[in-house]
Amino acid sequence: MISDRFIMEFDRALRTLCAPASTVREVPGNSEAESVMSEAEKAHAAALMRVNHVGEICAQALYQGQALTSRQDGIRRALEQAAREETEHLAWTERRLAELGSRTSLLNPFWYLGALAIGVVAGKLGDDWSLGFLAETERQVEAHLDSHLSELPEQDKRSRAIVAQMRSDEIAHAETAMHLGARELPPPAIVAMRLAARAMTRTAYYV
């Protein structure tokens, strides 16, 4: 039933935005002692983790939109599996923000709705283009996480472990998308995605 599907998807959105995320895997870096950082280092680490949390909010919405419009059951299941792993990333970054005494982005509902709309549009273009969009997104996220690993304080082993594991998972998601038949996006689309991501990360760092 369409009404049942709508209720389920609406519930998923509410849980992503309003409820604490859960994780099956142990939080990376959980065994590491909390590091000693200056207030400036701590604030910078928290801002970077807030950006990563926003990225996971967007990933949830993106996968949700793509799964809603996917034409193949196998691809839909792959998207849903990836979304479950992204939920763990959401839990890890959420927990780390709390440990750093910080908060999530105030614009999370806006980020979610925007990514959901993009996911639906990508899915409507066809599964090959949708997967291509997914693969390119994950490549850009990988590069983004690489930059965070270079920026996070060396002594912040907890944050660094989380980011490193997220990076490994994103690489696997991109490889899965390519295996399932992703098409390479045209250069203008890739540039537009990078510009949009840059605007999002710069805003989420502060808000």
* Angstrom distance (rounded) from CA 207 to CA 200: 10
Q: Which residue has the tokens 């990933």?
A: 59
Residue 3 scores a pLDDT above 60: no
Query: H or E element: which one contains 109?
Result: helix 108-124
Predicted pLDDT of residue 68: 79
Predicted pLDDT of residue 105: 94
**197 vs 17, which has greater pLDDT?**
197
Predicted pLDDT of residue 7: 64
Indicate the average pLDDT of the chain: 88
Which residues in 79-90 are b (16+ Cβ under 10 Å) and which e? Answer: beebbebbbbbb
Residue 180 scores a pLDDT above 70: yes
Residue 110's φ and ψ, nearest 5 degrees, are -65, -45
* Angstrom distance (rounded) from CA 68 to CA 56: 18
Predicted pLDDT of residue 95: 95
Residue 167 scores a pLDDT above 70: yes
Residue 38's φ and ψ, nearest 5 degrees, are -70, 165
Average pLDDT over residues 163-182: 91
Q: Please write the tens of the pLDDT for every residue from 96-108.
A: 999 999 999 999 9
How many of the other CB atoms lie within 10 Å of CB of 120? 18
145: its two tokens: 């996480």
139 pLDDT band, cuts 50/70/90, is very high
Q: Please write the tens of the pLDDT for every residue from 9-55.
A: 666 776 777 777 888 889 999 999 898 999 999 999 999 999 999 99
Residue 61 scores a pLDDT above 90: no
Helices (H), 30-103: 39-69, 73-99
Give me the amino acid identity at 104.
Answer: T
Predicted pLDDT of residue 62: 86
Average pLDDT over residues 151-174: 94
Instruction: Give the DSSP letter string of 135-199.
Output: HHHHHHHHHHHHHHHHHS-TT-HHHHHHHHHHHHHHHHHHHHHHHTTPPPPPHHHHHHHHHHHHH
Choice among 59-63, 93-97, 166-170, 203-207 with the minimum mean pLDDT: 59-63
Q: Can you give the pTM of this predicted structure?
A: 0.89
Q: Please, are residues 77 and 129 in contact by the beta-carbon 8 Å criterion?
A: no
Residue 177's φ and ψ, nearest 5 degrees, are -60, -45
